[in-house]
Amino acid sequence: MKRDRLEGPVRHRRRPPSTAAGDPDQRRVVGILAAGQVLGGVGMGATLSLGSLLAAAISGSNAFSGMAATMSTLGAALLAVPLARLAQARGRRVSLSAGAVTASLGAVLAITAAAVRSFPLLLAALLMLGAASAINLQARFAATDLASDTTRARDLSLVVWSTTIGAVLGPNLFEPGEAVGAMLGLPELSGAFAFSVLTLALAAVVFAAGLRPDPLLTALARNPAGAGPPRRAGALAVLGSNPRARFAVAAVALSHATMVALMSMTPVHLYEHGATLAVVGLTISLHVSGMYALSPVFGWLADRAGRLPVILLGQVLLLSALLLAWAGAGSRPAVTACLVLLGLGWSASVVAGSALVAEAVQVEHRATVQGTSDLVMNAAGASAGALAGPVLAAAGYSGLGLAAMGLAVLVIAWAGTSARHRPRAEHPPA
């Protein structure tokens, strides 16, 4: 039987039936997921900056401030697969609600850690708060469960876009949080965690009450191939036999690693070259805007032009950013433009790549493969961030940009090889 490296067996490949465009269930699901994302984003954003400050204050050394981001990322990676398995067994409603409750309890534990001045307890709290990032990633996939082939990337991108609201509002709650914390008698630098407790608990309520009927369980019930006892297969086994899904997971992970490697070192580079904290903050804000603000545009484009072309567009944008980093490391405007392009490249690659992950496997394996994708994505980002520091120290910002180009080139080469083997009969976007 003819077999394609990207698509798998040609004749017997079956796609789950999709709901029609404009399905009222799907519109409701996207709205609920977006509302939950806003609440979860505020909860996470309110503590993002405080985590590093609190870690430094409790530990007594700035050297431990980076542990906040490390533990949060590690928590997101460790919880991605268990929450995905829970979604596959009990539905998105239970999984997303459980993740939000876990993160809310993590915020309670962070306040406790500040009160008793316990650094290990704070690390445990930040690990639990990583659940907020895990459900943030899972929510984008939940938007695809009932989506049609022609709106899957758009619906996913709308949920990604809603993250922008929380990302902007959250960090601005630092001072109000301290005022509220003082009124409640909370320890210094822990006030914003009170907002996190509330907003993450509200997100859990929104998911639990709003995702009825559950989108993933509904998709499983509508899928004729899923009738009878579910076929059990581990995510690694599915990825091992499905080149299309394997490429999609790799494209998302490598794009994320490229972004994290350069973004994480940009504040250090700018600050060491005389930039004020205001300039650094503005540069990162523009980068975050590039990551999320235009995601609906890339989602629409992925539905119209196909997933693979938009992934390639993302790689071109990433390469353009890295070229600016290499050639314009000494110019602040060039570095700012570099970070904007970096965010746009990440957005195009992750939106289109995530849509491809969602449709590359049968619905009965979808959640577990998506959880593995999020695990690999977080692990790749954490590894890239850890390696970027030594590269920056040894080769400078220009050298870091040059080194990161290899990741984008790898995705382009893989995509080119895959495209040459695509079956002509395939008609949905890929």
Within-domain flag for 74: yes
Within-domain flag for 15: no
Show the domain range for 78. Answer: 22-222
**What tens digit of pLDDT does each residue of 79-112 get?**
999 999 999 899 999 999 999 999 999 999 999 9
Find residue 3's DSSP bridge partners: 9
8 A C-beta contact, residue 138 and residue 84: yes
Of 157, 192, 222, which one is at a domain's C-terminal end? 222
Q: Does residue 352 sit in the same domain as residue 424?
A: yes
Within-domain flag for 300: yes
| CATH code, domain carrying 199 | 1.20.1250.20
Within-domain flag for 364: yes
User: Which of 51-55's residues contact partners 24+ apart within 8 Å by CB, and which partners?
Assistant: 51/110, 51/126, 51/129, 53/189, 54/110, 54/113, 54/114, 54/122, 54/189, 54/190, 55/119, 55/122, 55/123, 55/126
One-letter identity of residue 383: S
Q: Does residue 304 sit in the same domain as residue 195?
A: no
What's the longest Cα–Cα distance across the chain? 71
Q: Does residue 315 sit in the same domain as residue 177?
A: no
Q: Does residue 243 sit in the same domain as residue 207?
A: no
Q: Does residue 180 sit in the same domain as residue 45?
A: yes
Q: Does residue 241 sit in the same domain as residue 192?
A: no
Within-domain flag for 11: no
Q: Does residue 289 sit in the same domain as residue 356?
A: yes
Taking the C-alpha atoms of residue 89 and residue 345, their distance in angstroms, rounded to an integer, is 34
Instruction: Tell me what pLDDT residue 209 has.
Output: 95
Residue 14's pLDDT band (boundaries 50, 70, 90)? Answer: very low
8 A C-beta contact, residue 327 and residue 225: no
Within-domain flag for 230: no
Q: Does residue 40 sit in the same domain as residue 171?
A: yes
Instruction: Tell me what pLDDT residue 216 has.
Output: 92
Instruction: Tell me what pLDDT residue 337 has.
Output: 93
Of 222, 250, 269, which one is at a domain's C-terminal end? 222
Q: Does residue 242 sit in the same domain as residue 217?
A: no
Of 222, 245, 274, which one is at a domain's C-terminal end? 222
Taking the C-alpha atoms of residue 381 and residue 430, their distance in angstroms, rounded to an integer, is 25
Within-domain flag for 255: yes
Q: Does residue 152 sit in the same domain as residue 265?
A: no
**What tens digit of pLDDT does each residue of 182-216 get?**
788 788 777 778 888 999 999 999 999 999 999 99
Residue 252 burial class via C-beta count within 10 angstroms: exposed 0-12, middle 13-18, buried 19 and up: buried
The dihedral region occupied by 3, where left means phi > 0, alpha psi between -120 and 50, and beta the remainder, is beta
Q: Does residue 409 sit in the same domain as residue 261?
A: yes
Within-domain flag for 343: yes
Which whole number is the average pLDDT over 241-259? 93
Q: Does residue 71 sit in the same domain as residue 157?
A: yes
Instruction: Tell me what pLDDT residue 12 has.
Output: 37
Place of tokens 């600050």: 271
The structural domain count of the chain equals: 2
Residue 124 has pLDDT above 50, yes or no: yes
